[in-house]
């Protein structure tokens, strides 16, 4: 097996249907890899199997079949989990605790040295300066999300698994989260980012995997996914009005000739790049059909 941060091969998981004996597939033969030091975007519509995959990575779910390795070892092993950081989706911690108390207890459970100064610095980094001693019942949803990030970063993890980390955050907070993701990646951490926010994935990720109905329907580097080899974009002006159209490569020259014949002035002919949203919708709609 290749030496990578995370390797998933032919992962399958079925869930029992409520009140019945039949089981429905949540994941069917999902395979992908996350190289060391890489940021991988994990995309998919609701119910695609993203959280199921994450729970398999964390050892919280046992796959029915397939091989899953984190740094070359089974995900449930304590040595592996010591290198993991996890930011859950919509956490709702015990609200009688304070962020500093949580950081202190998690540090003890992880067996790492803890000091109030270090915890306050970490809270400052995630935007919770001055809130360390406040009970969680007084904190907003976004603040609890920031605490989740602080808890995940506490051990300087080699692999950061994030499940919709910026869901429910305002744009400013999202940018702060993105900056922290890039900082963590900059120090060498591999990032597995599950997100609905396509612009976020487009901004920070090196590669993306798109999941639909429990199957991988597209994957690759963002350049590969966004570039359409067959489509070219022609920008032109005609009678003082600007226009553009996308044309298949095979018909490109004919279309340019036709536009010129109609009196249009060709401004630019360039390879057509799609948005991640186009790629996402094409891939997931294609899978649904």
Partner 1 sequence: MRRILAFSGMTVRMLARRRTIWGVCALTALALLGIGLIPSYGVASSGWFVLDLGMSAMELGGLVLAIGLGAGIFPRDRETRILLPLLAVPLSRGGYISGRFLGGAFVQIAMTLLWAVALMIVMLARGLPVPGGFLVSCALLGIEGCFLLSVVVALGFRVSPPLNAPLTFLGFIICSLGRQDFISLLPGAPGAMGLLWTALPHMAVFHVKDAIMHGFRVPPGFVLLAVLYGVSYTLLTLSLAYASFSRRDLR
Residue numbers at the binding site for partner 1 (CB under 8 A): 15, 52, 55, 58-62, 78, 81-82, 84, 86, 88-94, 96-97, 101, 105-106, 108-111, 148, 151-152, 155, 161
Neighbours of 60 (CB within 10 A): 13
If the CB atoms of residues 46 and 96 are measured against partner 1, the closer one turns out to be: 96
- Quote the CA–CA distance of 4 and 203 in Å, as a whole number: 23
Q: Using an 8 Å Cβ cutoff, are 184 and 5 in contact?
A: no
Nearest residue (CB) to partner 1, 111 versus 171? 111
* Minimum CB–partner distance for residue 143 and partner 1 (Å): 15
Of 82 and 121, the one with the shorter C-beta distance to partner 1 is 82
What spatial distance separates the first Cα and last Cα of the chain, rounded to whole Å?
A: 34
In whole angstroms, what is the distance from residue 213 CA to residue 235 CA?
Answer: 38
Least distance (Å) between residue 113 CB and partner 1: 13
- CB of residue 202 to partner 1, shortest distance in Å: 27
By beta-carbon proximity to partner 1, the closer residue of 40 and 80 is: 80
Q: For residues 282 and 9, what is the distance between their CA atoms, to the nearest angstrom?
A: 24
Cα separations in angstroms, 249 against 32, 99, 231, 254: 31, 57, 6, 10
- Our measurement of the distance from residue 85's CA atom to the centroid of its chain's CA atoms, rounded to an integer in Å, reads 14
For the bound state, the minimum distance from the C-beta of residue 60 to partner 1, rounded and expressed in Å, comes to 4
Nearer to partner 1, 41 or 85 (CB): 85
Smallest gap, in angstroms, from Cβ of residue 127 to partner 1? 19
Complex with partner 1: residue 89 or 202, whichever CB lies closer: 89
94: DSSP letter:
-
Instruction: Name the H helices within the chain.
Output: 50-57, 78-81, 99-110, 116-125, 141-153, 171-186, 198-204, 222-226, 252-261, 276-288
Evaluate whether 84 touches 159 at the Cβ level (below 8 Å). yes
Min dist CB 160 to partner 1, Å, is 11
């Amino acid at each position: 097996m290749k030496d990578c941060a995370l390797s998933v091969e032919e992962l399958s998981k079925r869930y029992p249907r409520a009140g019945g004996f039949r089981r429905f597939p949540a994941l069917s033969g999902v395979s992908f890899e996350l190289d060391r030091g890489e940021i991988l975007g994990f995309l998919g519509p609701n119910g695609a199997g993203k959280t199921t995959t994450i729970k398999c990575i964390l050892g919280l779910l046992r796959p029915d079949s397939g091989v899953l390795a984190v740094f070359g070892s089974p995900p449930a092993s304590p040595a592996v989990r010591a290198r993991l950081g996890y930011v859950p989706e919509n956490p709702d911690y015990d609200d009688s605790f304070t962020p500093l108390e949580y950081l202190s207890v998690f540090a003890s459970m992880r067996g790492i040295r803890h000091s109030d100064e270090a915890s306050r610095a970490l809270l400052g980094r995630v935007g919770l300066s001055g809130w360390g001693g406040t009970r969680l019942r007084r904190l907003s949803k976004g603040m609890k999300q920031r605490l989740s990030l602080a808890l995940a970063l506490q051990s300087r993890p080699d692999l950061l698994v994030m499940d919709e980390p910026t869901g429910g955050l305002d744009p400013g907070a999202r940018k702060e989260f993105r900056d922290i993701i890039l900082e963590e990646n900059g120090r060498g951490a591999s990032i597995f980012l599950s997100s609905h926010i396509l612009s976020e994935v487009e901004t920070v990720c090196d590669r993306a995997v798109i999941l639909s109905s429990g199957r991988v329907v597209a994957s690759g580097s963002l350049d590969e996914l966004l570039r359409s080899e067959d489509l070219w974009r022609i920008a032109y002006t005609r009678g003082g009005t600007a226009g553009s159209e996308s044309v298949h490569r095979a018909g490109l020259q004919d279309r340019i000739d036709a536009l010129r014949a109609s009196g249009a002035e060709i401004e630019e002919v360039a390879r057509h790049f799609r948005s991640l949203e186009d790629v996402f919708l094409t891939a997931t709609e294609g899978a649904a059909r």
